[in-house]
Structure 1
Amino acid sequence: MQQENDVGGIGIVGGGIVGLSCALAMLDRGRDVTLFERAADYNAASWGNAGHIAVEQVAPLASPAALRSAPSRLFGIGGALALPPSMIGRWLPFVLRLAGASTPGRFAAGTTALTPLLAGAMPAWRDLAAAIGMPDLLREDGHIVIWDTPATARRGRERWSRTAIGTARIIDAEPGMLQRLGTLTEHVGGAIRFTGSGQIADLRRLAITLEAAVVARGGRIVRQDVRLIETAGRIAVAGHDIDQVLVAAGVRSRALLEPLGYRVPMIAERGYHVRARADRWPADLPPVVFEDRSMIVSRYADCVQAASFVELGDPDAPPDPRKWERLEHHIRTLGLPIAGPYDRWMGARPTLPDYLPAIGRSARHANLIYAFGHQHLGLTLAPVTAQLVAALMLGQTPSIPLDPFDLHRFGNTGRHP
């Protein structure tokens, strides 16, 4: 017999870190779950990111400071921001919306909205890691930020001292930790260490473990593309008997929802990484951010990865090999203890112009829930997002106000446009 607030079958579209976390949250509450994920190669942004649990990033990237610094961060002059001319039709409307979302007032409101979300991120990760029987996947060793010169270190320290960092804290980086990087110590102009942040020790093992946990709890994973349709004022997954639908398909969420009349001004924010065997990189070293080069290096179980770049455009466009070449150049010039051959990867972060996620229930279709657009924070926020989504699906009040994350901020209302 169903409980009073019980629901029928739940269909989750998207099997990345957000979708899988939501599936487990609902299965652990006794619900019937079918998860739809077309890919089985673990090549999406969920499994190719820096592995960093970034609880310090409570200040949205849509900000007056980011707008002012954008020209100096362009790829053509050595920076990490790429606006490919061939994709101007994609990124120009997004950039105009980004500018509108970067006023001091909206930046302050975004920081206020993200602060409680990120405060709950690490506790939610602890709960999830314990629930899947893999507490060793979560490392809470913080991360290191390094600058090339004393001048950029002074500016960087001063900027971080003025930046909201939520539950994280900043201390001096221990000299012994830097010395474990060997020749790199010759290039360090300054360094700090964040405490309170963390890392996933092995993204591939996380993906496999989460999928296995979904199946072990009675959930189903269906490997196929899906189409959403509207019928009798509700949203359905074509060809499947589903009562509630959760869209958690990352950058693909836009293509799923816009045919139904929703405005989703999301762009593919493409990132690049290179990976190599971790023969010489210290196994116990937390993620290292080389801030002057906009690069983060993470050690996983059997490999070390360097990641960078914000390339706005088409998720399906061919990758730009120059990005990988620059990453490999940084590795060489810094003297990092990393040697090729390299595996190269490119993936698309789902980013909305105010750099806040979309989490909520549709005002037009009561059986439609959404959770996407987490930009650089998908891995960080997946478990806490799952807790909020579970509350929505069960008709409960979420622990964090969700109005700042509602799609109505982009003009979606309870009426058809």
Structure 2
Amino acid sequence: MTSSSGSSVLVIGGGVIGHACALALQARGWRVRLTDPDREGIAPSWGNAGHIATEQAQPLASPATLRSAPRRLYAFGGPLDLRDPLRIAPWVLRYLRACTPGRYEHGRLALRGLLAQALPAWRRLADALQQPQLLREDGHWLCWESAASAARGRAAWAGTDIGDTRYHPLNAAHLADLRATLRAPVSGAIAFSGTAQIADPYALAAALRSRFAEGGGQRFHHRIDALQAEGDELFARTDDGQVLRADRVLVCAGVRSRALMASLGLHAPLVAERGYHLQWREHDWPQRPPLVFEDRSMIVTRFDGGLRAAGFVEYAHADSPPDPGKWRRLRQHAAELGLPVRGEPRAWFGARPTLPDYLPALGRCPRHPSLYYAFGHQHLGLTLAAVTGERMAATIDEGGEAPELAAFDLRRFAR
């Protein structure tokens, strides 16, 4: 193991992945500088459903997902929208290759192994923050609105790899309570165990920032335009011409990671897979685990700060304007379901960083040995944040390539 005493790391990206990595590095004695232009806390890390989705052991690059895509299109009432198909055509071709049975199975085993450590790592991170109440291990619920969709859904879940999680029919008392709360019918529901939620994403963000500062971390709000190498030295150049240097550089910049890696001639085939949510401060939703309305591809989560309804898988340029129709559809879902909400909700959208095989990129760059990366977590950024922090800190501290991260090496896209 290398000595980290007095050594520095520049973490580019201040979302949940960047902060988890920064704190894990601090715990190993590294001096950490973190930079992110997101001053308002609007990144996808804080706009998600708050669900620790350890049941999602099957990558979305799969034959089953590919078969279901036509009926899930936004134009037909589903969650899937390709707003910029020509721009993402090369990514789609890679996605199709990743859906072949052999590649899918390789990805499933790799993701399953990472997810098995996700919840234990979150317990350790919550304890390190001295806020174990941020992690609620009450599982989550999933329901259907018709007998036909319930039958299809149960059959689908029976054939799905859900990792170390389990599910069972929602008990009669909870089902009756759910039916009494909602206007829409509930024909069936199941309850998962072994999953969890974050009590409130913004409280988590505040706790991460506070702990980072307490550990002596330096925070900046630069936008990094490019990475540059001079011999063995690597540095980051900001949009206002400043140069940031450190012994190691860790790229955790979400969808912006693609351009940063490209500035060194490295290919990271990321796309912006955008999600939307509405959050109501005033509501009468009881304290329940996150609830997935599978027929509507929508998840409703009660946070300490309000009730959030989230959904959609929109492929679009990261900087293109939002589609107001998606917020209207979320409002329509909320009204049809009879969610007990009042007042005007806060609207949000953000871009998940997604690679064609729906696996993250985790590792070290052989061409530039001081460069490390952790991005491309798609829908599982929150879920995998804590274990990613631990794995990346260990990899950087040990100064080599970690065999256990081989499946997530970015070089897989060069093959």
Task: Output the TM-score relative to the length of structure 2.
Answer: 0.95
1:161-310 equivalent positions in 2, closer than 5 A: 161-181=158-178, 182-184=180-182, 187-226=185-224, 227-238=226-237, 239-282=243-286, 284-310=287-313
Given candidates 132, 150, 157, the residue that maps to 2:129 is: 132
Per the TM alignment, residue 94 of structure 1 is displaced from its structure 2 partner at its CA by 1.6
1:106-129 CA distances to partner (integer Å, 9 max, x unpaired)?
Answer: 111111001110000000000000
1:69-218 equivalent positions in 2, closer than 5 A: 69-84=68-83, 87-181=84-178, 182-184=180-182, 187-218=185-216
1:106-156 CA distances to partner (integer Å, 9 max, x unpaired)?
Answer: 111111001110000000000000001110000000000101111111111
Contact 1:8 1:31 in 2 (8 A): yes
Verify: 1:378 aligned to 2:377, yes or no: no
- Alignment partner, residue 344 of structure 1: 347
Worse overlay, 268-277 or 395-404: 395-404
CA 1:232–1:193: 2 relative to 1, 3 Å: same
Per the TM alignment, residue 279 of structure 1 is displaced from its structure 2 partner at its CA by 2.6
Verify: 1:406 aligned to 2:409, yes or no: yes
1:215-257 CA distances to partner (integer Å, 9 max, x unpaired)?
Answer: 1000111111123111114421231231100000111101111
* Partners of 2:402 and 2:176 in 1: CA distance: 43
Per the TM alignment, residue 171 of structure 1 is displaced from its structure 2 partner at its CA by 1.0
- Alignment partner, residue 44 of structure 2: 45
* Partners of 1:353 and 1:7 in 2: CA distance: 38
Worse overlay, 102-111 or 42-51: 102-111
- Letter of the 1:371 partner, please give it: A
Unaligned runs of at least 5 residues, structure 1? 413-417
Given candidates 381, 388, 395, the residue that maps to 2:391 is: 388
1:311-326 equivalent positions in 2, closer than 5 A: 311-326=314-329
Worse overlay, 380-389 or 391-400: 391-400
- Alignment partner, residue 27 of structure 1: 26
Contact 1:391 1:397 in 2 (8 A): no
- Letter of the 1:266 partner, please give it: L
Per the TM alignment, residue 6 of structure 1 is displaced from its structure 2 partner at its CA by 4.8
CA RMSD of aligned residues (A): 1.7
* Partners of 1:75 and 1:288 in 2: CA distance: 21
Per the TM alignment, residue 398 of structure 1 is displaced from its structure 2 partner at its CA by 8.2
* Partners of 1:341 and 1:169 in 2: CA distance: 37
CA 1:4–1:206: 2 relative to 1, 3 Å: closer
1:32-58 CA distances to partner (integer Å, 9 max, x unpaired)?
Answer: 000011111110000000000000001
Verify: 1:331 aligned to 2:334, yes or no: yes
* Partners of 1:265 and 1:241 in 2: CA distance: 26
Contact 2:115 2:163 in 1 (8 A): yes
Contact 2:4 2:30 in 1 (8 A): no
Per the TM alignment, residue 363 of structure 1 is displaced from its structure 2 partner at its CA by 1.4
Per the TM alignment, residue 399 of structure 1 is displaced from its structure 2 partner at its CA by 8.0
CA 1:44–1:217: 2 relative to 1, 3 Å: same
Contact 1:116 1:400 in 2 (8 A): no
* Partners of 1:207 and 1:346 in 2: CA distance: 17
* Partners of 1:247 and 1:301 in 2: CA distance: 31
* Partners of 1:150 and 1:179 in 2: CA distance: 16
SS in 1 for 2:273: strand
Task: Output the TM-score relative to the length of structure 1.
Answer: 0.95
* Partners of 1:99 and 1:13 in 2: CA distance: 31
- Letter of the 1:30 partner, please give it: G
CA 1:6–1:349: 2 relative to 1, 3 Å: same
* Partners of 2:144 and 2:215 in 1: CA distance: 46
Identity %: 49
How many residues are treated as equivalent by the alignment? 408
Runs of 4 or more above 6 Å deviation: 396-400
Contact 1:360 1:371 in 2 (8 A): yes
Contact 2:2 2:398 in 1 (8 A): no
Contact 2:183 2:337 in 1 (8 A): no
Worse overlay, 228-237 or 397-406: 397-406
Worse overlay, 165-174 or 42-51: 165-174
CA 1:172–1:278: 2 relative to 1, 3 Å: farther
Contact 1:235 1:367 in 2 (8 A): yes
Worse overlay, 234-243 or 53-62: 234-243
